[in-house]
Amino acid sequence: MTALTDSFGRTIRYMRLSVTDRCNLRCHYCRPARDDQPLCEERNRPAQQPAMSLTETVRLVGLFVALGVTHVRLTGGEPLLRRDLVALATALATLPGLEDLSLSTNGLLLQPMAVALRQAGVRRINISLDSLEPDRFATITRGGSLTQVLCGIDAAVGAGFQPVKINMVVMGGINDHEIPAMVIFAHQRGLVLRFIEAMPVGTEGQRVMGHFVPASTILARIQQHFGTSSWQPTTEPIGAGPAHYHRVAGMEIDIGIISALSQHFCDSCNRVRLTAQGQLVLCLGRSNRVDLMTLLRDGASDVTLQQHIVQAIHQKPRQHAFDQYGSQFVAHTMPTLGG
């Protein structure tokens, strides 16, 4: 097996696989209120280009796995909108060399699908949960049902996913006051909790950064509520993602913080993204992408496709370009960020 190594010596073992660019929410940090495009990160693709079929997807992912990718996460858009998702997961889970198949979802459609996805081979699941207050949740997601998501979380736990992670994008003046409540919620249900810094992605990037809360402020909120000695680093990684995990003393809960701006993790990045249209995205914070689906549909052999994959990985940039938004967001710690 040939390891996928970029020009900076980083080995690529983790793929985020977008199985659809459609989403059933319009979270205000991701998409404009009125938007006819499928998803902001996919706007540069030709509008007529159809998504990869199940067979095409499995073939391409299989080539990456043969080159050393061991972790695949199903994402979107909202992946549960893809009608053949369970069949796709079943096929991917049997790929020789794939060690871990996981899923990220907003949870709205999860309750009736949780058991089938677990039986298909999905082992771990991440669920977005930006607020525990129904009205605030509906505002952030522009109409999402908190009740449906909570039912989805309970269904995931009941189906045996391990771990079940919940992701909260922390935004000043919007939901940052809920940080302690989210810790308690996750503790009560045996969930892994991850706080995520807002990122300047898509057309909403500049506006969203007006609510930026750095990792240091998130940590301070936890310590203020649970005690200054409560935050204890953990030594064992949880999954293959970029979060740095800690544990609150006296509570059996792992808490991660993903700090793409204030403490970026580019030097250890082991990830690429494959879009639903077969575009290999080398960095979420850059425009670099390589069209693999056209090669596939033009009849390229597996050997030729793998050669292009290896060449593409060497184009992976050293780090993201989020710094263009300025140190004002990274160094700025808001004194009052909500009630």
pLDDT at 262: 52
Residue 189 lies in a domain: yes
pLDDT at 282 over 50: yes
Q: Is the pTM of this model over 0.85?
A: yes
- DSSP H or E run through 169: strand 164-170
Give me the mean pLDDT over the 98-105 stretch: 98
Residue 256 lies in a domain: yes
pLDDT at 317 over 60: yes
Confidence grade of residue 33 (pLDDT, cut at 50, 70, 90): low
Contact 27, 39 (CB under 8 A): no
SS3 305: helix
pLDDT at 1: 46
Please state, in angstroms and as integers, the Cα–Cα distance from residue 44 to each residue in 137, 193, 287, following that order.
Answer: 29, 33, 9
How many structural domains is the chain composed of? Answer: 1
pLDDT per position as a tens digit, 112-142:
999 999 999 999 999 999 999 999 999 999 9
- C-alpha to C-alpha distance for 122 and 162, rounded to whole angstroms: 10
SS3 327: helix
**How large a percentage of the chain has pLDDT more than 70?**
79
Cα angle: 300, vertex 303, 308; to 5 degrees: 75
Residue 177 lies in a domain: yes
Give me the mean pLDDT over the 161-168 stretch: 96
Q: What is the dihedral of CA 158, 162, 164, 167, to 10 degrees?
A: -170
Residue 339 lies in a domain: no
Quick one: which of 28, 29, 25 has its CA closest to 38?
25
Cα angle: 128, vertex 271, 299; to 5 degrees: 110
Give me the mean pLDDT over the 34-53 stretch: 55
pLDDT at 332 over 90: no
Kindly report the average pLDDT of the chain as a whole number: 84
pLDDT at 49: 65
Confidence grade of residue 41 (pLDDT, cut at 50, 70, 90): very low
- C-alpha to C-alpha distance for 6 and 314, rounded to whole angstroms: 4
Q: Give the number of other Cβ atoms within 10 Å of residue 191's Cβ.
A: 21
Confidence grade of residue 42 (pLDDT, cut at 50, 70, 90): very low
pLDDT at 251: 82
Give me the mean pLDDT over the 22-43 stretch: 65
Contact 70, 93 (CB under 8 A): no
pLDDT at 92: 98
pLDDT at 309: 97
Residue 214 lies in a domain: yes
End-to-end Cα distance, the chain = 54
The CATH number of residue 47's host domain is: 3.20.20.70
Question: Tokens 């793998």 map to which residue?
Answer: 306
Residue 8 lies in a domain: no
pLDDT at 64: 98
pLDDT at 131: 98
- C-alpha to C-alpha distance for 177 and 173, rounded to whole angstroms: 8
Stronger pLDDT, 27 or 303, i.e. the higher one? 303
pLDDT per position as a tens digit, 216-256:
899 889 888 888 776 777 766 676 666 778 888 778 788 98
Range of the domain at 82: 14-331
Residue 3 lies in a domain: no
pLDDT at 30: 75
- C-alpha to C-alpha distance for 309 and 4, rounded to whole angstroms: 9
- DSSP H or E run through 306: helix 302-313
Stronger pLDDT, 12 or 264, i.e. the higher one? 12
- Burial class of 311 by CB neighbour count within 10 A (0 to 12, 13 to 18, 19+): exposed
DSSP string, 41-71: GGTTS-TTPPPPPHHHHHHHHHHHHHTT--E
pLDDT at 205: 57
